[in-house]
Structure 1
Amino acid sequence: MKRRLISTALALGAVASSLALPAQAQSQPPARVGSLMQISVVDRGTGAELPVYRHRGEYWVAGRPGARYAIRARNAMGERIMAVMSVDGVNVVTGETAGVGQNGYVFGARERSDITGWRKSDSQIAAFEFAAAGNSYASRTGRPDDVGVIGVAMFRERMPEPPPPPVTPYPRRDEFGDRERRSESSSLGDARAKAAPGAAADKSVAAESAASPSGSMARQSAPSPSLGTAHGRRETSYVGKTTFERAQSSPDEVIRIRYDSRENLVAAGVIPVPPPPRWPRPAGPSPFPGSEPGYVPDPPPRY
């Protein structure tokens, strides 16, 4: 079933999926996750991609209260990919309580784009802004249970089936006698009868393959952290509309990134903190500075 889905209107062109980093930077936590698409969270004030920390099987980023941020998505495939995005359990395009079957953004092959806010129209968004959980858009609209998580569900596009090859009519030869024509017609019918079971089997296998689901996304609930995403100031952001038919009903990949303040993540052990440096202690006085044997001598005379 075809759906009309919002797509970015401006083509950003192909962008490299990875960058060469100096040796010191390579030791830092990665900033991007995902296979079909590389997802990162960008601090719009500094332009830096936030480090992604992996802790107990989950991805985390540290946000700054009051800072605006963007979800940066890079299509790593040579085909169109649809991304249904949610923040705090709310669809960023429609404002619905998020579900994987809803509308999203369509990215062209190798395309990169920053999703900077809640979609208000074809030309405006309300900026994503880290804020106290109680001031988040989800909490203010009565949906506080999933505050503190960013989700991206990705879908491949169904490719149109190639048209069947044209049927070449059997050439009519007037010089053939009735017997030759009947004989060749009978041979052609036998050949078609032999090929029919194989073709039927191919169709049966294709039908079973199309009916087999590739998996489903299990809904996971998370505790409400202290940081959420507010409905920030209005900004200009143009999009267009396109049609997209999913190859299957379940997502081909789901990315889940949780976030909170750096202080809370350090306290929870998500961000490792190196121990303070140990300074060498001074040598101090020695109880046995000399090793000469003997008895206690008299002190020198006073002057």
Structure 2
Amino acid sequence: MKSHNDAYSVHVLVNGKPVTEVTRQGDTFIEGRSNSVFELHFKNHSPRNVLVIPSVDGLNTIDGESCGIESQGYVVRAFQELTIPGWTIDQKQVAKFQFKKQGGSGKNQTYTEAVDESTGNQGLIGFMVFKEKYVSYGGGVTIRGGHNPWESSPYTHNYDTMWSSSTTYDTMSIMGSSSAPVDIETKCSGMSSDQAAYSANIVEEPSLGTGFGKASSFDTTTTSFERESSPDVVFVYHYDTLKNLERKGVPVAMFHEHHAKPRPSPFPKSPEVKTGCKIPYGWKG
């Protein structure tokens, strides 16, 4: 999924590859399969550093708290990208994201069920993106607020966990196939007003949530970042089993069509590029 100005793009990855996305009535849907591990991918195509706040099932993936406009996030440098493999345990490791059926027990519970958080936002994945704040000091000179966390030493990854004190905000955009401003009451739940109305008409509850999977290495460090007062954009995915997506009216045949399509090639008559010619029998060189 891309932002309206192509400044950012996001994907949900399974086995390192983007899953198929299907859009219906302004909402973007993906298929989830129980016990499958997934990752969140964000790419910054812009010349500015940004803060990305990841949300899964309504919770911030960094601290496990209810996700909102003041939540912690990752700093992604200009023209860099970030892959988030799971729920943060500490600055060295995460617990992998794993689709789980709702209503399970023990290790089969979703994370929101396991920590007794609200389960009303299960089935949603979101990315809230803030630009770094610029401070003007007159005379036409613009100075970027905050320090440069990458000035003195390189990091293993192109991102860092961070905290911000920004408290004011305005309207923002929810990215599906539409980018119109939305009411603030529906932002933190990851839905535009149209999406909220559509979801209210869905009788079938999402059958999937996200579990707290196996530990995995993921090195991060803390830094400061002064975000702009309002998010530049918010991306939202709705996920569920194929059966439940079909019940909701999502054109699930498009998932199958995607997998059936051959990989694009600039030379369709020679899809497999080979190096060298076939050696004749008996050739000795």
Query: Under a length normalisation based on structure 1, what TM-score does the superposition of the two structures give?
Result: 0.60
Q: Secondary structure at the match of 1:160?
A: strand
Aligned residue for 1:107? Answer: 76
Aligned residue for 2:112? Answer: 138
CA offsets, 1:68-111, max 9 Å, x none?
00011001211101011110001001111111211101100011
Aligned residue for 1:155? Answer: 130
| Greater Rg by CA | 1
Aligned residue for 1:240? Answer: 221
Alpha-carbon distance between aligned partners in 1 of 2:41 and 2:185, rounded to the nearest angstrom: 24
Q: Secondary structure at the match of 1:239?
A: coil
Matched, 1:254 2:229: no
Deviation at 1:213, TM superposition (A): 3.9
Kept after mapping to 1: 8 A contact 2:9/2:42:
yes
Alpha-carbon distance between aligned partners in 1 of 2:231 and 2:38, rounded to the nearest angstrom: 25
- Total equivalences in the alignment: 195
Kept after mapping to 2: 8 A contact 1:76/1:109:
yes
Aligned residue for 2:245? Answer: 265
Alpha-carbon distance between aligned partners in 2 of 1:96 and 1:212, rounded to the nearest angstrom: 20
Whichever residue aligns with residue 49 of structure 1, its letter is: P
Alpha-carbon distance between aligned partners in 2 of 1:73 and 1:145, rounded to the nearest angstrom: 25
CA offsets, 1:176-225, max 9 Å, x none?
xxxxxxxxxxxxxxxxxxxxxxxxxxxxxxxxxxx994556442465740
CA spacing shift, 1:53–1:218, aligned 2, 3 Å: farther
Kept after mapping to 2: 8 A contact 1:128/1:231:
yes
Deviation at 1:273, TM superposition (A): 2.9
Superposition pairs for residues 121-270 of structure 1, below 5 Å? 121-134=90-103, 135-142=109-116, 143-162=118-137, 164=139, 213-215=170-172, 217-219=184-186, 220=191, 224-248=205-229, 250-270=230-250
Unpaired runs of 5+ residues, structure 2, are: 104-108, 141-167, 173-182, 255-285
Q: Which has the higher helix share?
A: 1
CA spacing shift, 1:98–1:157, aligned 2, 3 Å: same
Alpha-carbon distance between aligned partners in 1 of 2:82 and 2:53, rounded to the nearest angstrom: 14
Give the alignment partner of residue 41 of structure 1, picking from 4, 12, 25: 12
Deviation at 1:162, TM superposition (A): 4.4
Kept after mapping to 2: 8 A contact 1:217/1:254:
no
RMSD: 2.2
Alpha-carbon distance between aligned partners in 2 of 1:267 and 1:214, rounded to the nearest angstrom: 32
Deviation at 1:164, TM superposition (A): 5.0
How many percent identity over aligned positions? 27
Alpha-carbon distance between aligned partners in 1 of 2:28 and 2:58, rounded to the nearest angstrom: 16
Alpha-carbon distance between aligned partners in 2 of 1:92 and 1:229, rounded to the nearest angstrom: 11
